[in-house]
Amino acid sequence: MLKRLTVSILSLIMLFGISLISSQENINRFVFTAIPDQDPVRLQKRFGKVAQYLSDTLGVEVKYLPVETYSDTVEAFRNNKVQLAWFGGFTGVQARIADPGAKAIAQGEEDQNFTSYFIANKSTGLKSSEDFPRGIEGMTFTFGSEHSTSGRLMPEYFIRKAFGKSPADVFSHVGFGDHHSNTLDLVQSGKYQVGALNHKVWENEKKAGKVDESKVQVIWKTPGYPDYNWTIRGDVDETWGNGFTDKVQQAILNMRDPKLLAAFPRKGFIKADNSMYQPIVEIAHETGLLNNE
C-alpha cells in the first residue's frame, strides 16, 4: 500500500514538473498570427519563414499560429494567445479596442494608400470605369470576409455612399467569401456576378495565372485608404523586458529579404501608429460595423 502511494506521489510530481516546464516554455514563446486573406496553406508555409527570421533577430523563440477566420486573429490577440499580428485595417482597430494598450507599429509601404477592386463576371456586360459602377445594382454581389477591410468594410462604405442604402437593399443577393482568392473564384466562375477584393491579391493571382480575363475583369478601383498593419500587445515589455516592443518594430522595419516580404506581399515596411487608422475607426462606426464593439 505504501509502495503504491509512493509511486502515485512520484507520478504526480513528474506530471506537475512536466506541466510547469511546458507552461514556462509557452510563457517564453513569442507568438504571432496573420489574417487569413489568402489560401491558409500557402500562408502557413510563407509565415513559417518569417517566424524563423524574427527568432534569429529577436533572440527569442517565435512561432506562427495559423487561424481559420479574421475574427480568430482578434480573439487570439484578445486572449494573449498571440502577442503580435499582421492585421487588416479593420481587424487591427478591433484588436486595439480589445487591448487598449496595443500599438500599431508598422505597415507596408503600400498600406498608406491601399485600394479595393470591384470585379465583375464578363457575362454582366459591365465595363471598367473611373466612376463608381452604378450598373451593379440588382445583381448578386460577394464580399470577402465579414471582417475584411479591403473585402468588406471599404467596399460597403462606397456602396452606401453611392446608393444611400445598405448592400442588402442594393443587390439581389449578398454573400461572403472566406478570403480574397475565394472572392475571385466566386466571380470568375459566375456564382456571383460582382464582388470586391484586395487589389494586391488580384495582382498576385494574375501573375500566378489564376485570373482568366475572358471571364472576369476589374470594373472599378476605389480611392485609397490606410490598411494592413503589424499590431503588438501593450504588455509584451513586461514579459520580454523593457524596449522589446521597439526591438520587434525595428526587426520588422529591417525585413528586406524579398522571399520574406513575399509572404505579405509588400516591398517593405515603414513605421505606423494608432492615429493613422482613425479613418478606419470612423468609417466602421459610420457603416455600423463597429457599433457593437
Q: Is residue 292 part of a domain?
A: no
Q: Is residue 42 part of a domain?
A: yes
**CATH, residue 230:** 3.40.190.10
- Residues 70 and 147 sit within 8 Å (Cβ to Cβ): yes
167 and 97 in one domain? no
Q: How many domains does the chain have?
A: 2
195 and 258 in one domain? no
Residue 27 confidence (pLDDT): 55
Give the lowest-confidence range in 50-64, 82-96, 177-191, 279-293: 279-293
66 and 85 in one domain? yes
Q: Residue 24: which pLDDT band, with cuts at 50, 70 and 90?
A: very low
Q: Is residue 88 part of a domain?
A: yes
User: Greater confidence, 119 or 16?
Assistant: 119
Q: Is the pLDDT of residue 275 over 90?
A: yes
212 and 254 in one domain? no
Residue 15 confidence (pLDDT): 47
Residue 43 confidence (pLDDT): 75
**pLDDT tens-place string over residues 226-247:** 999 999 999 999 999 999 999 9
Give the lowest-confidence range in 97-111, 157-171, 197-211: 197-211
233 and 214 in one domain? no
Q: State the pTM of this model.
A: 0.84
**pLDDT tens-place string over residues 253-266:** 999 999 999 888 89
Final residue of a structural domain among 221, 246, 271? 221
Final residue of a structural domain among 221, 250, 277? 221
Residue 98 confidence (pLDDT): 95
Residue 7 confidence (pLDDT): 46
Final residue of a structural domain among 164, 196, 221? 221
**pLDDT tens-place string over residues 168-187:** 999 999 999 877 888 999 99
Q: What number of CA atoms fall less than 13 Å from residue 219's CA on the CB side?
A: 22
Structural domain harbouring 71? 2-111+226-286
Mean pLDDT of 213-229: 97
Q: Is residue 79 part of a domain?
A: yes
88 and 12 in one domain? yes
211 and 238 in one domain? no
42 and 105 in one domain? yes
Pairing of strands 30-34, 62-64: parallel
Distances in whole angstroms, Cα of residue 27 to Cα of each of 82, 237, 240:
11, 13, 10
Mean pLDDT of 124-131: 96
Mean pLDDT of 136-140: 98
Q: Is the pLDDT of residue 21 over 60?
A: no
